[in-house]
Amino acid sequence: MSRGGKMAIVEINFDGLIGPSHNYAGLSLGNLASAKNAGGTAQPRAAALQGIAKMRPNIALGLTQGVFLPQSRPDRAWLASLGCVPETAPSGLLANALSASSMWAANAATVSPAADTEDGTCHLSVANLVTMPHRSHEWQGTLAQLRLAFANPAFTVHGPIPAPFGDEGAANHMRLSATHEAPGVEIFVYGVTGGPFPARQHIEASKAVARIHGVSRAIFVQQSEEAIAAGAFHNDVVAVANERVLFAHELAFADKDGFYRDLRALLPQVEIVEVPTAAVSLSDAIQSYLFNAQLVTLPDGGMALILPTEAQDNTRVWRWLSEMVAGNGPIRQLIPVDVRQSMANGGGPACLRLRVVCDPETVDPRFLVDDATLDRIEDIVATHWPETIDPGQLADPQLWHQIGLARATLLMALDLGELA
């Protein structure tokens, strides 16, 4: 998309395709939806088709759309490092090895666009996800895809921050700027404590990523303990940012006044849209995933909020949103999408995507999709993804074979055999 030799910088949403091993094992402590639906029967085929359908409105809106692919499951290498093979692994370890959680691409990496970094390249640091066992072994597969997709010299791809410093990627990172291509202010949100639930993002990990990326304009903000304890296991459950707009719950941050003051000093044109607790409680915000939405800039310059249908189903949430878009604020359009299978495991529209600001021509085209490519992926999913998986099936070698065949078919169709 370079015009006259000038790079066309846009924001690309890379969605994680929901994998054929999608199941409800209830592995994520602090994720209320995951706990509520533990032991239920999952529908991997329907889940992936919902995810594909979610990508299509972005394309229709004129936005560039990317995709990341499911990882190999069960993760035999991870089990081997624990002295196991799938055939004899304890049920708990096997469930962790079969997790399809890499579909939540917001946890894939932290991304700093070229305009923000000292060396003028776009930096991506793969997240270590060490807090949760089922996610701790994702980074190798994620890193392999990042190194392929972003092999162009316009990018610098980094390995993970070492344990024990937990890093959960872009789900705890926001960027605010006048426009996508302009230098921005990067917001690193970390946790200290969350009552009965772990704070997954460590401040030392956030600071390390900022240093490694060469980000000069960074603000480190503590997520409120109240939000984590209520089930906001990542910042993107209570806040989302796009260009100059921050959309957040009143109780998202431990010291919101200090944060807002620092933010306005670095980006005077920032617009803060705050949802008051009196209108939408933390409980309603987390149940509806109001903030786990994609806040996107449309080609005409307006902004739209792509959010789960659960937000529309909640009367209090939808009333507030409808009043917001009827006003004169920056968010002008609401686009509900059905991702109920992902939502039942605690992942809304924002969880399913990683945002990368760059020139699309610098990205490996195999990771960019249009409607025709999505049609091909959809056909493979409809043919090869399991229709249902219940926890009792996780030890079935025939299921493992079906999962492996489904992924192999997809990789072959997209000419990405090097990921096999």
pLDDT band at 59, cuts 50/70/90? Answer: very high
3-state SS of 339-369 is CHHHHCCCCCCCCCEEEEEECHHHCCHHHEE
Any domain includes 128: yes
Any domain includes 18: yes
Query: What pLDDT is attached to residue 268?
Result: 98
- Which single residue is written with the structure tokens 């926001």? 174
Phi, psi of 98, deg, nearest 5: -100, 0
Parallel, antiparallel, or unpaired for β 122-126 and 155-158? Answer: parallel
Parallel, antiparallel, or unpaired for β 122-126 and 109-112? Answer: antiparallel
- Which single residue is written with the structure tokens 């370890």? 93
Query: What pLDDT is attached to residue 4?
Result: 47
Query: What pLDDT is attached to residue 362?
Result: 98
Q: Are 169 and 127 in contact (CB under 8 A)?
A: yes
Q: How many domains does the chain have?
A: 1
Any domain includes 1: no
User: Which of 55-64, 269-278, 335-344 comes out lowest in average pLDDT?
Assistant: 335-344
**What mean pLDDT comes out for the span 316-345?**
92
Higher pLDDT pick, 24 / 407: 407
What percent of the chain has a predicted confidence (pLDDT) above 70?
Answer: 96
Any domain includes 231: yes
Any domain includes 400: yes
Among 368, 298, 335, residue whose Cα is nearest residue 12: 368
Q: Please report the beta strands in 58-208, taking only residues with DSSP state E, as ranges in sequence order.
A: 65-68, 109-112, 122-126, 155-158, 173-177, 184-190
**What mean pLDDT comes out for the span 160-182?**
97
Query: What pLDDT is attached to residue 262?
Result: 98
Residues 6 or more apart whose Cβ sits within 8 Å of residue 341 = 18, 22, 42, 43, 46, 47, 50
pLDDT band at 299, cuts 50/70/90? Answer: confident
Query: What pLDDT is attached to residue 162?
Result: 97
Domain residues for the domain of 208 are 10-419
Tens-place pLDDT, residues 358-369:
999 999 999 999
One-letter amino acid identity for 107?
N
**Structure tokens that stand for 382 in this block:** 């409809």
Residues 6 or more apart whose Cβ sits within 8 Å of residue 255 = 221, 222
Q: Residue 317 pLDDT > 70, yes or no?
A: yes
CATH number of the structural domain spanning residue 281: 3.75.10.20
Any domain includes 112: yes
In terms of residues, how long is the chain?
Answer: 420
What percent of the chain has a predicted confidence (pLDDT) above 90?
Answer: 86
Q: Please report the beta strands in 211-359, taking only residues with DSSP state E, as ranges in sequence order.
A: 218-222, 239-242, 245-249, 271-275, 294-297, 303-308, 331-337, 353-358
Which residues are known to be catalytic?
A: 168, 234, 351
Rg, Å, the chain Cα set: 20
User: Among the residues of 7-138, which ranges form H helices?
Assistant: 32-36, 44-60, 76-81, 91-97, 133-136
Query: What pLDDT is attached to residue 385?
Result: 98
Parallel, antiparallel, or unpaired for β 271-275 and 10-16? Answer: unpaired
pLDDT band at 5, cuts 50/70/90? Answer: low
Distances (CA, A) of 221 to 4, 155, 241, 246, 401: 41, 26, 14, 14, 45
Tens-place pLDDT, residues 195-211:
778 788 999 999 999 99
Q: Residue 3 pLDDT > 50, yes or no?
A: no
Alpha-carbon span 180 to 355, nearest angstrom: 11
Any domain includes 158: yes
Query: What pLDDT is attached to residue 166?
Result: 95
Tens-place pLDDT, residues 22-55:
998 767 656 666 667 777 899 999 999 999 999 9
pLDDT band at 348, cuts 50/70/90? Answer: confident
**Structure tokens that stand for 170 in this block:** 């872009």
Any domain includes 4: no
Alpha-carbon span 271 to 166, nearest angstrom: 30
Q: Residue 341 pLDDT > 90, yes or no?
A: no
Tens-place pLDDT, residues 131-154:
989 999 999 999 999 999 999 999
Q: Residue 354 pLDDT > 70, yes or no?
A: yes
Query: What pLDDT is attached to residue 86?
Result: 97
**What mean pLDDT comes out for the span 285-303?**
93
